[in-house]
Structure 1
Amino acid sequence: MITTTTTAAAPRARLRRQLSRPVQAGAVLVVWVALWPLVRGRDTLALSPADLTPLHRWLNDLNDTIGANRNSNPIFLYVINEIRAVVGAFATFVQSLLSQPSFGRPVPVLGWLGVVAVVAYVSWVFANWRVALLAAAGFVFFGLQGLWQESMDTLALTLAAVAISLLLGIPLGIWAGLSDRFNRLVTPVLDFMQTMPTFVYLAPLTLLFLIGPASAVIATLIYAMPPAIRLTAHGIRSVPPTPIEATESLGATRWQTLTGVLLPMSKRTIVLGVNQTIMAALSMVTIAALIDAPGLGKTVVKALQTLDVGTAFNAGLAIVVMAIVLDRVTTAAGARVDQAGRPSRFRLPLKVLLGVLAVVCCYLSYTYVWAAEFPGEGSAGSALARGADAVTTWAQDDLSTATQAVKNAVTLLLVDPLQALLTESPWWLVGAAAIALASLLGSMRAAATTTVCIGLLVGTGLWQDSMTTLAMTIVATLMVMVLGIVFGVWIGRNRHVDRIIRPVLDAGQTMPPFVYLVPFLALFSATRFTAIVAAVVFAAPVAIKIIADGVRGVSPTTVEAATAAGSNTWQMITKVQLPMARQSLTLAANQGLIYVLSMVVVGGLVGAGALGYDVVAGFSQGELYGKGLAAGVAIVLLGIMLDRIARAAAQRSAAKTRPR
């Protein structure tokens, strides 16, 4: 009898332990909401847009001091200025090949015909003829849009940043793959670099390297280098031990083992790292338009600032086309690494013949104006811009009732109440609630990190703007998780749906953040809701894919057992698949938070306000530089706090689902 009672009590005790933390977290929220009317408006640390704190003034003075001593201070004179000069010279050299006059000629070194021929040839050599046709068509499209030079500037800065990123990143990745100590050392640094939203890189880099192409390339390579390091290290560490042991038993040196075994067997993963580096670089180069980087990003930024949807759409479409072309070329190159078939005997002669043809096209584009300047440039771009403007006018006139209803519903029911709770509560109450939630949902280490971040957020002098950004981030993340669960479960349970929707998700992940703002600017005009919706669409693909993989990873035996027990579809999803995929849900929330925070900040360009606006204003108004730099620090603190809480929750979830 005692044994039976103990056996029956064990599941109840385990259930109480599992429910205790969510219940306690809910209790914290209830207490917070109950206290809010009593303390509303006290200790809110409000700061008007024109006000500056002593920290902001000190940062302004620091900027002025650095500017005055840039050419006399030894650190700047012999280190920072030299780095800027070398990187700037390399970026200018790459630009000069594509879009600048050379040797006094009124034509570039490579005109449109030479660029298209080289791109098509390289795509065919490293990928296949289908990708080569896609690449050639994509680059011709840039000229038809009237954006040839802007596209070449973007491509030049991307290639310059990628070249330096791979030159540094692959050797560091090899080192991390061979050395456990260096891998442990570099992993937190890479985590930090990838956690920070892209905006954050810009302000401190302008402090050191000024604005312009050099700063844009440096910011881009810092953002784009982590994937190359991570995936190179992962590829080397994933090589099976058997071929390594066989090589070493034959007396091979470490260098021979590296070049003869490790690198060849990890080639596919390294190529994937190159792909991710290129996509990250293209994304960052467009955002670097805020620090005067030339190219398509500058066209989009100017159009967004003037609410010119047609021009923004035309340039945004060019960015999408470039992203698709670069992604398809590198993806096809990576897939081709695994092909073990014998190459065709006609391939080498054809490669030589097409190579000669590409050289001839380059010569023609260097010699003749008709092959250098795109004929009929802008014919398609004007039509696209007019069409986008017409669609925008139609949407704002005929769909305004529906769009305003959606915007008002989300704003009144979700954004406004949460923003009021965060911005009108005393800072100490918000901090106490955040620390308590971090300890309950995550861990004590996450609570300690949250405590530090809260204290530093107060120190930035931008508490209210930080809370406004946090409110938009939370609302957007909730919407991302709803979409992630609905579509993730659908894709995870149906292979046919997966084949249809996954290419759309892949395409969505290739587009730089700026592009998402354009269609929603047309639908909802410049408001914070525009930034929220754009953030949801930007972050949803990664969350959907993670949840779909988690649902598909549920053991077939478990699914069959539930089916045999008479579970219907709803019971199967809610009682079996989602609970078993709990770790994937937590990981999706983590990644969704980071993507949303990055995009909500970019939304400062279209009326989102808060920290995003502070950063943008800091670039354009010298007296607000210190405030913009402090806003960048606040964004980092929010990202670290949310990331650490979500990571700790994911680890706790994994520990619960791990078999004992």
Structure 2
Amino acid sequence: MSQPTTAGSGIAARGIVETEKLNHPKDKRPVEPGAAPPVVEDSGISRWIPALGVILLWIVVWSFTKGTNTLALPGREHTDLHQTFTDFNNTLLASRDTNPVMQSTNSISELLRNFFDWAQRMLVRPNLPRPVPEIGWLGIVALATWVGYAIASWRIALLVLASFLSFGVFGFWQDSLDLLIVTGMAVVITILVGLPLAVLAGTNVRANRVITVVLDFMQTMPTFVYLVPVVLFFGIGVGGAVVSTLIYAVPPIVRIAGFGIREVSTTTIEATDSAGQTYWQRLLKVQLPMARKTIIVGLNQTILAALSMATIASYINGPGLGKPVLNALVANDFGGSFVPGVLIVVMAVMLDRTTTAASERSERVARGGGGNVRLRRILLAVTGVAALVCVYLSRLELSLAQFPTSTLGSTVSDGADDVMGSIVDLIGGVTESFRNAISYGFLNPLQSLLAESPWWLSGLGILGLALVFGGVRALITTVVCLAGIWYLDLWHDAMLTLTMVLVGTVLVMVLALVFGVWMARNRWIDLGIRPLLDAGQTIPPFVYLIPVLALFGSSRFTAIVAGVVYAAPAAIKLVADGVKGVSPTTIEAGRSTGQTTWQEITKVQLPMAKGSLVLATNQGLLYVLAMVVIGGLVGAQALGYDVVLGISRSEEWGKGAAGGLTIVLLGVMLDRITRAAAEVRRDDGPGTRRAFNVRLPIGPPGR
């Protein structure tokens, strides 16, 4: 999982497929000079033969043993192991005032809380004896707009202006600024921690290997799981929200900035070394400046990850827009969640576009293309003075300090409720039919096979499939992960979660194949759909639950559909890029033999893009897993519910911790199986050998 992402697209992953032309000893056919290489059919389908054999054998044994030894725990029952975890939690909580570790985490949490309170007094919340913030809303909007112009352009300044005004006009000024404060605190600390690690990873091969293993583990873990240990050590509220956010936001900047530093031309480094420069001179004057654009891309991804996690942290009383969204989701109030949900998206787009534009501008300036520098400096000075005047005025007038009360948000919420009610009335029958078709035709049979098989049968079946698709390396990892899942006493819940993830991934790949191939074969479709996919990858995952919950109600199917919507953009883009990367010469050779469009897609383009398809499956699995876990908030049950229960009820913390660890093991197992499958080297036929050299992207995000 080492490929950096592109700015402005949330997580835009690409698989890299390298094709080697080798002389095959069995290929005796003459080839005319300049002729296109022969088109051959993909032989990779052979792996499905033993896979089907494993599944059929599994079904036969299941038919005689189903319902026995499933290791299911009825209701809220927990085991001795879960109670041991709970006792450990209680012991640590009881020693907050004496345990050095707990004292340290308490101090950090208190420091973060104090800084947040100071920022609130400065920007948001009236505080006695002074009944207004130190800087009122007019001053904040003016300063933010000026910063947007200073680091990017006037277009970004207008975007920032409109975004900040929307926070107040729709009645969520304080919640919006609270979310920005938490995100900003986490990003600043992330930069202070992440950049040194990125430099170490970019300049030291051995350190990079160790750091990469840790980052892979962190990015395989679904976002919601981060809350379990954070609550134990840092408590709920601002401290826990900031810490969980910064932990989740560290990997993108470390990975991407480290990649940028490593990619600096060795020729350039050798040329400057010959002049006798020191390590620090090489780093500060060559490597960091030349990796500037990539580092800002890493900052972009870090900011989006921080915003996503800060929103999810509302479940542990983290301040911000996530709170009204969560409250409305619990009450199944679509209108109440719609406005704050949209504002979260507005904030994400604003931050994404601003950092992306800043990256592009820094690159132009570095190349000497910054435009009229003198005019820009004059405009910056004039607008800067105007911003300071606005700050001064906001300290004098109460109406310019506290954002005026607005009922527009309530009006929009009521309208959204009416619109969604009409939509549900209109297509409620269709959505119910779709849910029943998937549930009875696919979800329930698969759940019965996975969750109602004896635990040893499910384990053997999964091990057999891991060996078929991923080889010995994947088999070893799967053995370790399944042993851990069995030990944590949540085997049945793990199988229920795995069922939802597999069903969601199948639906994601159906969408990815349909839209990905369509985009790859039609330039205009690509131009029309890709911006929507970019926007979809910018939206924090928490927001996806809002419309899906309104359409499907509280159930496991809601979590599955939300996972599909969340995972589809990345998978579609992977498939589109992979199919688009197939050699035009190969395609023309197929057409010259009279192939139909369907034959061209199924026998040439998809087989040749197999690396991207496997990579899309990998990302689909992990994204759906992350969303299914969050779906525990809306009735998804299984492991997601175990984690929610453990966070919300102290006496069930042990079961929640076991659920979190089980989710991590499940994610690692799925990730390693699909990664191993993506790295398989195979023969395509006479004259051609293809090697799939796949760089897996940053995992789910949360983005």
TM tier relative to shorter chain: over 0.9
1:352-391 equivalences in 2 (<5 Å): 352-377=381-406, 379-391=407-419
1:432-443 equivalences in 2 (<5 Å): 432-443=460-471
Q: CA deviation at 1:6?
A: 7.2
- Deviation per CA, 1:216-263, whole angstroms, max 9, x where unpaired? 111111101111001111111111122212211222222111111111
CA distance in 2, matches of 1:659, 1:641: 23
Q: Match for 2:175 among 130, 139, 150?
A: 150
Is the contact made by 1:25 and 1:440 (CA closer than 8 Å) also made in structure 2? yes
In structure 1, the partner of 2:134 is 109
> Quick one: percent identity of the two aligned structures?
52
Q: CA deviation at 1:74?
A: 2.4
CA distance in 2, matches of 1:476, 1:385: 30
Stretch of structure 1 that moved more, 579-588 or 351-360: 351-360
CA distance in 1, matches of 2:574, 2:329: 32
SS at structure 1 position matched to 2:613: helix
- Partner amino acid for 1:406? F
1:40 aligns with 2:66: yes
Is the contact made by 1:102 and 1:109 (CA closer than 8 Å) also made in structure 2? no
Q: Match for 2:596 among 555, 568, 576?
A: 568
TM-score under structure 1 length normalisation = 0.95
Is the contact made by 1:449 and 1:644 (CA closer than 8 Å) also made in structure 2? yes
CA distance in 1, matches of 2:506, 2:134: 51
Q: CA deviation at 1:389?
A: 1.1
- Partner amino acid for 1:369? L
Which one scores higher on RCO, CA 8 angstroms, separation ≥ 6? 2
Residue 199 to residue 342, structure 1, CA distance change in 2 (3 Å): closer
CA distance in 1, matches of 2:185, 2:135: 16
Q: Match for 1:289 among 297, 306, 314?
A: 314
1:547 aligns with 2:575: yes
- Partner amino acid for 1:428? W
- Deviation per CA, 1:514-568, whole angstroms, max 9, x where unpaired? 1111111111111211111111010000001111111111112212222222222
CA distance in 2, matches of 1:654, 1:548: 22
1:347 aligns with 2:376: yes
Is the contact made by 2:42 and 2:603 (CA closer than 8 Å) also made in structure 1? no
Stretch of structure 1 that moved more, 246-255 or 62-71: 246-255
Residue 58 to residue 256, structure 1, CA distance change in 2 (3 Å): same
Is the contact made by 2:82 and 2:655 (CA closer than 8 Å) also made in structure 1? yes
Residue ranges of structure 1 left out of the alignment (5+ in a row): 9-13
- Partner amino acid for 1:110? I
- Partner amino acid for 2:515? F
CA distance in 1, matches of 2:300, 2:624: 23
Q: CA deviation at 1:21?
A: 3.0
- Deviation per CA, 1:285-313, whole angstroms, max 9, x where unpaired? 00001111011111111111111111111
CA distance in 1, matches of 2:683, 2:106: 50
Q: Match for 1:163 among 188, 193, 200?
A: 188
Stretch of structure 1 that moved more, 89-98 or 480-489: 89-98
Residue 76 to residue 493, structure 1, CA distance change in 2 (3 Å): same
CA distance in 2, matches of 1:48, 1:453: 24
In structure 1, the partner of 2:227 is 202
Stretch of structure 1 that moved more, 191-200 or 102-111: 102-111
Decide which structure has greater helix share: 1
Q: Match for 1:21 among 47, 52, 68?
A: 47
Q: Match for 1:615 among 637, 643, 655?
A: 643
1:56 aligns with 2:88: no
CA distance in 2, matches of 1:15, 1:571: 10
- Deviation per CA, 1:14-41, whole angstroms, max 9, x where unpaired? 9998554321111000111122110011
Q: CA deviation at 1:94?
A: 3.4
Q: Match for 1:280 among 305, 310, 318?
A: 305
SS at structure 2 position matched to 1:658: strand
In structure 2, the partner of 1:637 is 665
CA distance in 2, matches of 1:644, 1:622: 33
- Partner amino acid for 2:435? K
In structure 2, the partner of 1:133 is 158
Q: Match for 2:118 among 81, 89, 93?
A: 93
CA distance in 1, matches of 2:691, 2:563: 36
- Partner amino acid for 1:194? Q
1:411 aligns with 2:443: no
SS at structure 1 position matched to 2:97: coil
In structure 2, the partner of 1:481 is 509
**Cα RMSD, aligned residues only:** 2.0
Q: CA deviation at 1:392?
A: 2.5
- Partner amino acid for 2:402? E
- Deviation per CA, 1:344-387, whole angstroms, max 9, x where unpaired? 1211011011111111212222332111111243x221111101
Q: CA deviation at 1:276?
A: 0.1
Q: CA deviation at 1:87?
A: 3.2
In structure 2, the partner of 1:624 is 652
CA distance in 2, matches of 1:655, 1:96: 66
SS at structure 1 position matched to 2:446: helix
- Partner amino acid for 1:508? G
In structure 2, the partner of 1:11 is none
Is the contact made by 1:32 and 1:429 (CA closer than 8 Å) also made in structure 2? yes
